[in-house]
Amino acid sequence: MLINSKSYFLRQGAAFLLLLAIAACGGSSSGVLTPPPPAAPTVMSNTPANGASGVPINGNVSASFSEAMDPATLTPSTFTLTSGAAEVPVQGTVAYANSTAIFWPATHLASDSTFIATITTGAKSASGVALAAKRAWSITTGAAVASQLPVDLGTAGNFVILAKSGISTVPTSAATGDIGVSPIAATAITGFSLVLDPSGVFSTSSQVTRKVYAASYAAPTPANLTTAVSAMEAAFTDAAGRTPDFTEFNSGNIGGQNLVPGVYKWSTGLLIPTNVTLTGSATDVWIFQIAQNLTMGSAANVLLAGGVLPKNVFWQVSGLVDLGTTAHFEGVILCQTGITLHAGAVINGRLLAQTAVALDSSTVTESLAPPATAVTLTPSPILPVTAGTAVVFTAVGSGSAGTPAAGYQYQFWKRGPGENLWTMVQDYGVGSTYTLPGSAPPGTYGVGVDVRTSLNVLWDTYTAINFFDLLAVPIQNPAPRMSGTASPKTYQNFLGSADVR
């Protein structure tokens, strides 16, 4: 075969020069290329939008970033809100989570006024790179007060009790839901007579109607707990930053009071010596910001009226929480220090403590959504797909009203090529999505999901999907189900399926 010597040597010379360029750019005598520097973060979006009008006077401003940010660099000095031509600073706090920073004003904003929000280049990414450019936008308030949104608990909402330094009980207590500790080891869970599961992932206890998790258990428990504790801390910061509607209400003693929805703030402790009533609807939200201790008297009750849900009541406490003998409490406690329940105390809600939780013949029941009556399972990308493509399945449970509700947990099952039995691939409490990896070989698959509230140890309802044709197949006349184990099971009357090609 004849070779065009000119083109051949030109190609060889170009290749040689390219190799020289790569070696020069590598900056390493070993020939290993130096990775590019981290990208400078940018503001991807801000809320409210630039020029927005009619902004509620109890609202906030927020910005989402292209990179994970260093929370220590997002402060009222680098994320500011000013008013008027004189640019008078608005006092407030900044909370950061999930690549989004929120500026919460310390008081309601002036009505019918213009404000400028600014994020300076003092804000840096987690890699230490400054914001690429300053971001500023203007908003104009109206006169309305918006309804509060619930505090987002993230995966901390999977636990009825979550603590960083320990959970103790004077038997016999009762916890309905999962409990967990991190970063402390399982030895900090005392009085529960734990029995470690053979998997090493969790323990069980006769005093816990679900599972017990600790940072010292087998994977994926440590990573899941780290995420949950971070979510707990972010929720505390979120609740603490909300703009108050009421300050120093009744001098820090709410015994005998009937409280409307809103954000209540005290620079002192809070006393509940006698019954207190929260009156509203199922969508109303209460947030109590308490700078010192929360103390509840013996036999006192927090009462909910008008359909108020405990999951919409948040007690953000910087000091200690002390619930007296036989006291009855409602809501989610976000405590920066310790929580103590005395003999016979009952809470319908959650105990999320950044130190320890101590029970004494106490009852803790998480309050979530009503039992699920339906669940949808949606794949992405749209099916069918070819082998080598990861597919994410998202489950959404809904209650008797037919609307999606927060607080459900999901357990995913899979049937692979040539398999007649279903295998549990993701347990309750991990999340609402399951990813079939791109490494899955071609063949015929099925994916199913169970949904439950924490008050149901087994399951509320379930469905399956014919993997590659998007045919949702309700399951009729199911056999008795198993809960939370990795043992295979059979979905009854599962109709055909399609092939991955």
| Under 8 Å between Cβ of 39 and 129 | yes
* Residues 6+ positions from 46 with CB-CB distance below 8 Å: 61, 62, 63, 64, 117, 135, 137
Band of pLDDT at residue 407, cut at 50, 70 and 90:
low
Q: Which long-range contacts (CB under 8 A, 24 or more apart) does 244-251 make?
A: 244/106, 244/107, 244/289, 245/58, 245/108, 245/145
pLDDT tens sequence across 199-239: 999 999 999 988 999 999 999 999 999 999 999 999 999 99
pLDDT tens sequence across 134-164: 999 999 999 998 888 999 998 999 999 999 9
pLDDT tens sequence across 330-342: 999 999 999 999 9
Domains defined along the chain, listed by start: 43-141 (2.60.40.1220), 154-365 (no CATH), 374-473 (2.60.40.10)
pLDDT tens sequence across 427-478: 877 788 899 888 888 777 888 888 876 444 456 677 765 444 333 333 333 3
Distances (CA, A) of 465 to 274, 398, 421, 486: 53, 17, 15, 20
The reported pLDDT for the residue numbered 128 is: 95
Is residue 281's pLDDT more than 90?
no
Nearest CA to 253 out of 242, 266, 240 is that of 266
The reported pLDDT for the residue numbered 402 is: 43
| Under 8 Å between Cβ of 296 and 324 | yes
Q: What is the mean pLDDT of residues 375-387?
A: 80
Q: Compute the mean pLDDT over every residue in the chain, rounded to the nearest whole number.
A: 83
The reported pLDDT for the residue numbered 296 is: 98
Give the C-alpha separation, 173 to 331, whole Å: 19
